[in-house]
Each structure stands twice: as structure tokens, then as C-alpha cells.
Structure 1
Amino acid sequence: MANSRGMTKLFSSLACFDYHKQNVDIYSFYINSMVTSRYATTVITSRVANTLNESQEIQFEVKIPKNAFISKFRMTIEGKTYDGVVKEKEEAQQLYNQAVSRGQSAGQIKSVGRTLEDFKTSVTVAAFSKVTFELTYEELLKRRLGKYELLINAQPMQPVADFKMDVHIQEKPGISSLEVKGDLSTGDLANAIKTTRADKDAWVTLYPTQDQQTKCKSCGENGLNGDLLVTYDVERRNPKGEVMVSNGYFVHYFAPSDVPRIPKNVVFIIDRSGSMHGRKIEQTRLALLRILSDLDEDDHFGLITFDSEVNLWKRELLKATEANLKNAKSFVNEITDRGATDINAAVLAGVDMINRHPREGTASILILLTDGDPTSGETNIEKIMANVKKAIGTKFPLYCLGFGYDVNFDFLTKMSLENGGVARRIYEDSDADLQLQGFYEEVAVPLLTDIQLKYPVGTNLTKTSFSLYFNGSEIVVSGQITDNSWVMGESVTYQDTIMTKDPSDVPPENEDFMQRLWAYLTVKQLLERQ
């Protein structure tokens, strides 16, 4: 198993080849995605013929979601199959460079945008011979704003005579909503999409003709080029969640919606250093104005701006009254860029603001937005993380938003994970303000705090403690189990939770998905702690 960011796939030559030439024929391109209880396994199979009377390099390039990992890659040439192997990132990079220098085949994964990473490899194919590339990747679909998203990219680089995309979603509680979006659902290509729904299953197929492959929003003479986005949600008949058991493993999906929202205390820490000049600061102001308008009246909030100095709008958290919001928006409109970047002092000021104004029955959130490295005050990253972790003391989460590519995103990721939050990159684009607002919407409605999920007879559990649960999200816990006794939080028993012990509840071809889901979560969480 390989994480697509942390590890690299190695095979036996990387060279570039232009599929626009007529001496390569992609005569078949299949994408098959099977989603079982939110766990997606996608197989891409490309069959290519060398139509030249001499050998040449043929390239295989696909884009996969950033949260996915490649579980299998193989090439079949003249009846012989070559399987890929997995190496740690540093070793893989070294072996990749050596393979390229020797003219051998090698494959590598690179980030190519907001949501996708690029996998590319190539192989020498003899005259008038064929090669089959088969890549399998897996991912656990994450619930955001009440929807799961399955993103599939297709860009074969030429119209394909036999192109098929099949998606099968299987959810035991039942599927409550389903929608197909993305560039590959636009134009004449939309007529090639077929959607079928049953109680617990949904099927989406895309079987376009070669002519249709040139007629979508992002398509052209080179054929398909874009994403198909399938969004869906499941029925939630049991507020205690859904538990499934198969082959000695269990998974618990917990997404209650029948609890009242909790008033929040939120402090926004905004980088106003010189590097935020221009569109960045303008979009930040615009996003903050919208976010302030979305605060509920029983929320409390604070605003901190920083460069080499830390500037507090008010020293204390204020209630989100109409008058306070009006004054806050005036403050936001006056934010300008200047100076260096003292992240340490700014974050500690935000922590202090929340600590000095505790409110019972509320959820506290700290949100940092920055576009660069610490360049003023304490600049040692390890010391900054230690200071922040000690100050927060697991009492509330820190969310870090990194603006652009110059930011030290690894630092922000580690600091947020150490403090119960997550990091999100904000891409420098025309919709950066909407990206900021979209992130806030995911954490805007806290429903539960300090969630402790207990499984007395469970072993080898994935993460079971969560600082906050937000409306529209989902908590997922997996592990091994020998009994059906379940306890959560304050001795709330889960004896009546949906249980699935009968193997017939899980289709034979998907019986191992739960073990793979457990492994996926385990590896992902281990990597996050590194």
C-alpha cells in the first residue's frame, strides 16, 4: 500500500511521447470504480497499440485524487505481465533517477492541482505490438457539507474507439441523494451519461462515441479532458451511526444530525505581511466579510492581524451582534499588507484570547491564514510548534490555511494535526475568496465536542478521539473485533446499532474492503503523525 503523497511507485523507463501523433492508437480505455460503504476502488485500464514499423516509447499518464493511494500497477506486453513495486519516497526518488539515467521504465507521482496528482510512466513497445496498462487506486470518500464526492479524471489524449466509465455505489443504509457533475457531464457528452438507482445501489455509466468525446466544456480534438464528479449521501435512520462487521474487522460511521448546534468561539488570525500584497489581501478581506455575515448571534469571535507585530481588533471575544459585526467589517476593510511574518506571536495571542474568555457549552476554534514562513520573532519551526501545542493543551483545534505555493505547507500541516485540526491549501486563483469561505462553511456548525468513541472488545483501532464534530461531516473508526458490544462517550450503549455479521451482507467480491479500509485509515493516520 502506498500513500500517493508519501511514497512513489517504481517500475522498470520514463520518456515523453506525444499521443497526438497517429502512430499510437489507444484502442480501449476503461475506468471502473466500485464504492462499497464509502470505500472506493478504481481501476483504469488502457490498451495501446504501436502502429509504427519500429519500436518506440509509449507513455501512460493518469490523474488520481490526492487522498488516494495506488494499490496496484501492472503492464502487459506480448503476453507477459510486469508488476510495479512500492518504495519509500526517498528511496523511490533515488531509484527513479537511476532508472531514467539507464533508459529504463519508471513511474512517479506528482501533484498537479487542487485535488489531483499525476502518475506517469512509459515503456518501449516493439513494432506493431500492443501494451496494456492497468492501475488501481483506492480511497475512503470523505463527507463534506453533507455529501460524499467521488472524483474521476479522464484524459486519454485522443478520442478512443472503446471508452467506458462505470461507477457502482453500494451503501447498506440506502442512498438518499445522487448527483453527477463536472466537465465530463457538459455539452453533447452529457447525453452519454446514464444513471440508475435502486434502494442500496446506484450506477453511473459514461459510454461516449468518439465524436461525443470531443464535445464537452473542456474537451477538444484530443478527446476527453476533465473530471466526472459523483456526489451522494446515505440514509441515516439510526442516530447512533452505522456499524458493519466483516471477516473480523469493523467500521463505524458516525454522523448524527439530530443534535442542536453548539455556539462557537472563533478567532481568525490573518497574515497581513508584505507577501500578501495585491489580490491575496483583497480576496482575504472579501472572504472575511462574507464569513462574518454568516456568524450566528450566539457566536463569539475575535480578529487578529499580524506582520512583524500583532494587532488585535478587540482584546476580548465579542458576541456576533449586528453592531459588533458592523464594526468588525470596518476593521476588515482597513486591513493592508506590510512587514514580516511573526506566526508564533500571532497564534499565541489567539490562544490567549480564547483561554481568557471560556464559555461553558461552546466550541472554540482557531483559524490561521498565512502565505509564508515565519520571518520575525521566533522563527524556529520546532519551537513554534512546541509553543503552540503547550498553549492550546488539546483544549480546542487549530486550523491552518496556507495561501499559495510559497507557504511552508508541511509546517502548517504538522502544527494543525498536532492540535486537533487540519491544514488546507488555498490556491492563488480568481476563486480564492470562495475557497476560504468554503473551508469555513465546513467548520461553521459544531454539533459535538470532545468525542470519545470506546470499543472495549476492539483491537488495533484507528483514531477514536475527536475534538469536534461538525454538521455535514462524518467520523469514521475502524478496527478488529471479536464481539458486538459497543460503548461510546458517557456509557451510551450501541447494542441496537446496525450490525452486519452475515457475510451475505457484503458481496463476495468486496469481502476484503473492510480490512483494506482499516489499513487505509491506519496508514494515513500514521503518516499524519510523522
Structure 2
Amino acid sequence: MKDDFAALNQYLGWLAIGLWLFCFLSLLGFSAAKASTTNHYHEIYQSPEEVTSGSLLLKNKTTYINALRLDNHVNIDVNGIIAAVTVTQRFKNSGSEWAEGVYAFPLPENAAVYAMEMTIGNRTIKGLIKRKEEAKHIYTTAKAAGQQASLLSQDRPNLFTTQVANIAPEETIEVKISYMQSVPYISNQYQLRFPMTITPRYKSAQTTKTDTNFLSSPQTSSLPPLPQRPAPQTPLKVDLTININAGLPLVSLNSSTHKLKINKNDHQYIVQLKNDAVIFDRDLELTWQPQTAFQPQATFFTEEVHNETYGLLMVAPPKMKKNKTPLSKEQIFIIDTSGSMAGSSIVQAKTALQFALRQLNPNDRFNIIAFDSTTRTLFERSQRVSMLSMADAIKFIDDLAANGGTEILPALQAAVTLPLTDVELSQIIFITDGSVGNEVEILQFIHQNLAPRRLFTIGIGSAPNSYFMRKSAEFGRGTFTYVPHMNTVEQRITHLFNQIQNPIASGITVTWPDGQQQTISDLYQGQPLIITKKLESLKSSLVIKAKMGRQPWEQVIPQTQLHQPANGIGKLWARQQIEMLQDEYIQTNNSELPEQITQIALTHQLASRYTSFVAVAEQIVKPAHQQTQSTNISNALPHGNAYQTTGFPQTATTAPWHLLMAFISALLGLLCLCWSTMRKHHEI
């Protein structure tokens, strides 16, 4: 009996060691396999939401595989504060079978997408705007009949997908998307961003039904997601041209994210990327500054569309002097240390936090909350600035490392439940890449629970989720600051603290040229207000009134200066109306709002959460007996992400637990072997 028991122990020991070796070698094999894909055109996805940059995915039952990408063309025309953008990308079905494609691409969250066309061979198919369900039915019917068709849908506010049915073998596809966006004037310079990649979203287990209904498109929400994966870093050829009609001399024109070549002709500037072969692994940011002598405090443009008049107003408040005695404040810093921040992003975030701490005044209070899958708070109650509290903060920051999931909501809950202190202002400064899937749930929490505190967001990394970051700041009555590069940390954080410490324009009212009055949100120092309006007439001057601190402020645009024409204002107005209704839906869950959004989108021919573009070719091209197969191409994760060079998943996974369990199993196995050996020796 003893021999049998010893033999059993020995067997279990060897089994545990074998299990450990299997787990360890499996992880090594997974890492090596993923690393080896960096030299091949292969990447498989379970859902379009896993895509990290614009790419055509060929669908085969439940998976999506990249098709060969040929080249990319981007043309941006900037006139005043409006940018008209056309994105053209050509792809080829490099497989030997017919295929269905899903084209996933990021766009600015404020983009008004008004046109789509698909060119297949020598045939160009223009898209028509329809209700989403109707467009999906038209597309599905055409696909089943063997017709070539395309469907453009908004999957999230800054993520769109195009489905393409019945792509022939070796056939070249051209997708052209057109949109309008406003260019904000921030801290004395215009800032234009063109997204080239998306940080994969962490899907919290707490994601609500509202998030799923509001943010996920019907055709993709049912697909089971897999952990995010890094993609190969194959350079992609892009031909990007930005034409800037400044109308006046510029003091500066540069980019902190890309190297440029610039040609100037009078006040016209043509900007291109210095190298054609680039990796789509970071957003492009372009900034330009007009000569200060010509900077307006308020600018107004108009457009006539179908006998309707639309106006666009941009207000930039005058620069104010700093208060000699700044208001006492509490600042609660929340820093994201999840897996998506690994690499240069966490270094950038820690640098930003350290620099922000140095901006505090002696009479301020502060606290730090770090989060990934769990939440850690530095102090139980915010502490005054002192040598001791600062030393604790520096040690807390130095120990931070990126790992785990992006559980934002518990961190915000920890911040709002901190006891209020005896200060005049209480502010939360949130440092993250915003790579979450439950945006609606978090925005609802901010709207319902944040007061009396205000929320300021800092977007870190080469491709933060700017929709979520901007909306969080708006719901929290604060501002959004984007820090694209380590070299811009001090400049952008200094700008943020100037906003926080300087007086804001409050109690703002606009009297429009048709006599209507409107009260609008507060305005921070150096932060522009861009607002559109549908007008009945232009019969009088436009007047803006506000308070700057305790002083009244007024700006008047005479009636004679109200006729500056600009294209696209009507579509920007419709896009802003849709966004306002979406915000109201998040706050109230009013079931009537989706239909109002749909009607605006249909009237102004815009893609939205409830409308899609669909295009169908009349000719039947795919034989009924042919089956749909797949091919593949490479993709790119955001620049600086540590997972680009490893084979492990992008965000929180169970791999560390597997390693831990394997180690424990091996240890138990060794103990069993030792115990069995000692028993045998004792018996002898």
C-alpha cells in the first residue's frame, strides 16, 4: 500500500512537471509565432473592432483576414477653420477565391462623413444614405444575388467600417471616403489631427447594455472578441497632401508627430510627408500659428444650402493675466497603468504627472489614483503640498508599471468618493489613452456623479481614444489636452495649468444675426468654442457677451462682416446636432432621440449611428457555385506600445495566471517527488 502511495505521488509529480513544461513551451511558441508574423502579410481577427488601422479584412465565416494593401492617398483642403478630407485607399484580393471584405478605419470623432464610393476595376459605385436596417438589407440581398456591393457604417463615433461583397480573385478595390471637420484654434495655434491608427479597446466585464446598443454596430456586435494582438510593422506607402489656405502669413507650421516637406506660395501652403513609406502607427498632428497681429477673437462663416442659411462661430477668448493670488485647489490625478499603456506611453504619462505636480502651489491639496485591473490610491484624504507628501508621491509614481486591464470606472468612483477638502476648486486630472469599450457607462457616471468637481483629461500615446477623452471632459465641465509626444509634455501640461489657474469665460450668451439668443458652455483660457447655428436671416450684428473672471467681456461682429462664405457648414451643423442629441441620449436614455438623429442624418446625407451608405452594382458577377475564401496582409499597433515587439496580447489576459499556476504546479510536483524519495530512503 505504501509503495502504491509513493508511486502515485511520483506519478503526480512528473505530471505536474509535464504540465508546467507544456504551459511554458506553449507560451514561448505563441510568442515566437506572433513575432515571426512581423515578416509576413498575415493577421487574423475575430471582429473588426480588433483592427488597429485602416485595412481591408476579407471575411471567411467568423474570422477576418487582412487583404493586400497597395497604397493610400489622403487629401486635406483647409480653408479658414474647415477641413475637407478625402481618403482613398486601394486594395487587392491576392487570394484565388471570391471574397467578402470588411474595411475598418479610424476618423476624427467630429467628422461629418457625407460621401462614399467604391471603385472595382473600371466600375465606380456611389453610396446612397439609408436607414441602417434598410441599408443592411439591400447589401445582404445584393451579396446573395452575386452582385458587387458596399456598405459604410459607423461602428463607434470615431470608427467606421465598410463591407464589400463579392470581390473577384486578383481584383483591385478602391474605397473613397469624404468628410468635413472643423479645425480648432487652441493656445494661439490651429491644431489638425488625422488619425492613422486606433488603440485596441479594452472590454470591461461591466460593459452595460446601453454601451452595446449605442456604440456597437449591429453587424459586428454579435461576433465574439478575442484578446487584442499586435500586428506586423510593414511600412505602408501613403501619399498625403494638406493644402492650407491661411489667408495671412504664418508664424509657424510644423508637426510633432511626422517629418514634413512644405511648399509655400503667397499665403497658400502645401504640406506633404517627407517620406512616402511610413507605418500607420500614430496619428498625424499638424499645427500652424498666424501672425499675432491678425488674430481675431471671434470669427464667423456662413453657407447657403437649399435656401437655408447656416453659420459657424469660433470664439477664442483674449489672453488674461494670471491671478496674483491664485485660488486654492484640490487636484486628484488619475493615471492609467493598464497594459495598453506599456512602452513609451507609461513613461510619457509618468513624466506628465511629475511635471504636473511641480505646477502645484503651496496652498493646494493633491492625491494620486493609479489603475489597471485594480485601483490604488496614494492618500486616504488629499494632502497639502509639502516635502513629505511630495516624496510619497514621487515614490508612488516611480513604482508604477503598465500591466492589466483598463478598468476606468472604479478609478473614477474612487476619485469622487474622496472627502471634499477646504479649497475653492476641486479638479480631477485624468491621464490615459482611453482604450475602453464601455464609454457610455463611464460618461453616464461622470454626468451623474462628478459635481462639484470638474474633470480635465490628458490623452497620452500616439493614438488615444479622443472621442472618449473629449466627451469625458465635456461631461465633466473641463477640457481635453492631447500630448502626442514626449517633447510636447511640458508645453501641453503648462497650457492645461494656464487653463485651470486663469479665469474662465462664464455666463456666455450669443445673440445671433436673426435675433435669437443662446446660452452656451463656459470657455477656458486658450480653449476655443466652435458652434454652428441654423439661421433665419442675417439682418443684424452678432454679439457675444460673457464674464472673464469678474470683468464683463463683449465681442461684436458687425452685420457687414457676416458674409464670409465657407463650404460644409451645413453638414458640420448637422453633425453637431447629432452629437448634441447623442449626448442627451447618454444622459436621459430618451427613446425618441434615435429617430431625431436619423432624420437629421438622412436630410443632410451623413453616416451616423442609425444611417449607413450603401452602393450596389446592377451586374451579377459572382457565379452561384463559387464559395467565398480569404487572404491576408499586415497591420500596425500604435507607436511606442511595448507589445509591438512581443507576442503577447495587447491588454489584460490570463497568461500571467497561467505562468503562476504552472510554477505552482511544478513546485508541488517537486515537493511530491522529494517526499516520495525521502519515504523510500527512510523505508530502506
* Alignment TM-score, normalising by the size of structure 1: 0.63
Aligned-residue offset at 1:420:
1.7
1:486 aligns to what SS in structure 2? strand
1:318 to 380, 384, 387: 384
Aligned-residue offset at 1:77:
5.6
Between the aligned partners of 1:142 and 1:484, the Cα distance in structure 2 is 24
Q: Residue 297 of structure 1 corresponds to which residue in structure 2?
A: 361
Instruction: List gaps (5 residues or longer) in structure 1.
Output: 6-12, 186-192, 219-223, 374-380
Query: Which structure would you say has the larger Rg?
Result: 2
Aligned-residue offset at 1:159:
9.1
| 1:71-110 correspondence runs (5 A) | 71-76=114-119, 81-86=124-129, 105-107=149-151
1:443 to 476, 488, 496: 496
Aligned-residue offset at 1:260:
1.9
Deviations 1:238-263 (A, max 9, x none): 77712223243332322235212354
Between the aligned partners of 1:274 and 1:64, the Cα distance in structure 2 is 22
Between the aligned partners of 1:512 and 1:85, the Cα distance in structure 2 is 21
Aligned-residue offset at 1:282:
8.1
1:313 aligns to what SS in structure 2? coil
Deviations 1:367-416 (A, max 9, x none): 2468999xxxxxxx97x9888656654x5522467999xx9999988765
Gap change, CA 1:442 and 1:126, over 3 Å in 2: same
Aligned-residue offset at 1:469:
0.8
Q: Residue 500 of structure 1 corresponds to which residue in structure 2?
A: 561
Between the aligned partners of 1:32 and 1:416, the Cα distance in structure 2 is 30
Q: Given that residues 242 and 497 in structure 1 are in contact (C-alpha distance below 8 angstroms), is that contact kept between their aligned partners in structure 2? A: no
Gap change, CA 1:317 and 1:257, over 3 Å in 2: farther
Gap change, CA 1:357 and 1:453, over 3 Å in 2: same
Q: Residue 188 of structure 1 corresponds to which residue in structure 2?
A: none
Letter in 2 for 1:349: T
Between the aligned partners of 1:372 and 1:35, the Cα distance in structure 2 is 28
Q: Residue 521 of structure 1 corresponds to which residue in structure 2?
A: 576
Gap change, CA 1:168 and 1:452, over 3 Å in 2: farther
Q: Residue 11 of structure 2 corresponds to which residue in structure 1?
A: none
Letter in 2 for 1:297: N
- Quick check: 1:484 aligned with 2:548? no
Aligned-residue offset at 1:486:
0.3
Gap change, CA 1:177 and 1:116, over 3 Å in 2: farther
Gap change, CA 1:517 and 1:317, over 3 Å in 2: farther
| 1:113-192 correspondence runs (5 A) | 117=159, 119-122=161-164, 124=166, 133-144=175-186, 146-152=188-194, 165-172=240-247, 175-180=250-255, 182-183=257-258, 185=260
Aligned-residue offset at 1:198:
2.7
Larger helix proportion, structure 1 or 2? 2
Q: Residue 70 of structure 1 corresponds to which residue in structure 2?
A: 113
Letter in 2 for 1:267: Q
**Identity value in percent:** 16
| 1:10-89 correspondence runs (5 A) | 18-19=67-68, 30-45=73-88, 63-67=105-109, 68-76=111-119, 81-86=124-129
Between the aligned partners of 1:332 and 1:527, the Cα distance in structure 2 is 37
Q: Residue 454 of structure 1 corresponds to which residue in structure 2?
A: 509
Letter in 2 for 1:290: F
- Quick check: 1:259 aligned with 2:302? no
Q: Given that residues 370 and 377 in structure 2 are in contact (C-alpha distance below 8 angstroms), is that contact kept between their aligned partners in structure 1? A: yes
Q: Given that residues 510 and 517 in structure 2 are in contact (C-alpha distance below 8 angstroms), is that contact kept between their aligned partners in structure 1? A: no
Q: Residue 7 of structure 2 corresponds to which residue in structure 1?
A: none
**Whose RCO is larger (CA < 8 A, sep 6+)?**
2
Gap change, CA 1:79 and 1:46, over 3 Å in 2: same
Deviations 1:468-520 (A, max 9, x none): 5143x322222244321303114643236797334xx54xxxx4333333333
| 1:262-411 correspondence runs (5 A) | 263=326, 265-270=329-334, 287-293=352-358, 295-297=359-361, 300-305=364-369, 313=379, 315=381, 318=384, 325-326=390-391, 328-330=393-395, 332-333=397-398, 342-343=410-411, 346-350=414-418, 352-353=419-420, 356-359=421-424, 364-368=426-430, 389=447, 392-393=450-451, 395-399=452-456
Instruction: List gaps (5 residues or longer) in structure 2.
Output: 1-48, 50-56, 60-64, 198-233, 304-308, 586-684
Between the aligned partners of 1:454 and 1:245, the Cα distance in structure 2 is 18
- The alignment yields a C-alpha RMSD, in angstroms, of 5.8
Q: Residue 203 of structure 1 corresponds to which residue in structure 2?
A: 270
Query: Number of aligned pairs?
Result: 459
1:515 aligns to what SS in structure 2? helix
Between the aligned partners of 1:311 and 1:127, the Cα distance in structure 2 is 57
* Alignment TM-score, normalising by the size of structure 2: 0.51
Letter in 1 for 2:455: L
2:415 aligns to what SS in structure 1? helix
Between the aligned partners of 1:390 and 1:116, the Cα distance in structure 2 is 24
Between the aligned partners of 2:253 and 2:235, the Cα distance in structure 1 is 30
Gap change, CA 1:96 and 1:174, over 3 Å in 2: farther
Letter in 2 for 1:268: I
Letter in 2 for 1:255: A
Letter in 1 for 2:543: W
Between the aligned partners of 1:18 and 1:132, the Cα distance in structure 2 is 13
Between the aligned partners of 1:92 and 1:298, the Cα distance in structure 2 is 60
Gap change, CA 1:64 and 1:234, over 3 Å in 2: farther
Gap change, CA 1:85 and 1:527, over 3 Å in 2: farther
After TM superposition, the structure 1 stretch with the greater mean CA deviation from structure 2, 42-51 or 236-245, is 42-51
Between the aligned partners of 1:423 and 1:497, the Cα distance in structure 2 is 32
Letter in 2 for 1:484: S
1:448 aligns to what SS in structure 2? coil
Aligned-residue offset at 1:466:
3.2
1:444 aligns to what SS in structure 2? helix
Between the aligned partners of 2:281 and 2:351, the Cα distance in structure 1 is 32
Between the aligned partners of 1:234 and 1:170, the Cα distance in structure 2 is 12
Gap change, CA 1:477 and 1:500, over 3 Å in 2: same
Aligned-residue offset at 1:454:
1.6
Q: Given that residues 100 and 106 in structure 1 are in contact (C-alpha distance below 8 angstroms), is that contact kept between their aligned partners in structure 2? A: no
Q: Given that residues 243 and 500 in structure 1 are in contact (C-alpha distance below 8 angstroms), is that contact kept between their aligned partners in structure 2? A: no
Letter in 2 for 1:302: F
Between the aligned partners of 1:167 and 1:462, the Cα distance in structure 2 is 37
Gap change, CA 1:37 and 1:525, over 3 Å in 2: farther
Between the aligned partners of 1:309 and 1:153, the Cα distance in structure 2 is 30
Letter in 2 for 1:178: L
Q: Given that residues 195 and 283 in structure 2 are in contact (C-alpha distance below 8 angstroms), is that contact kept between their aligned partners in structure 1? A: yes
Between the aligned partners of 1:128 and 1:276, the Cα distance in structure 2 is 36
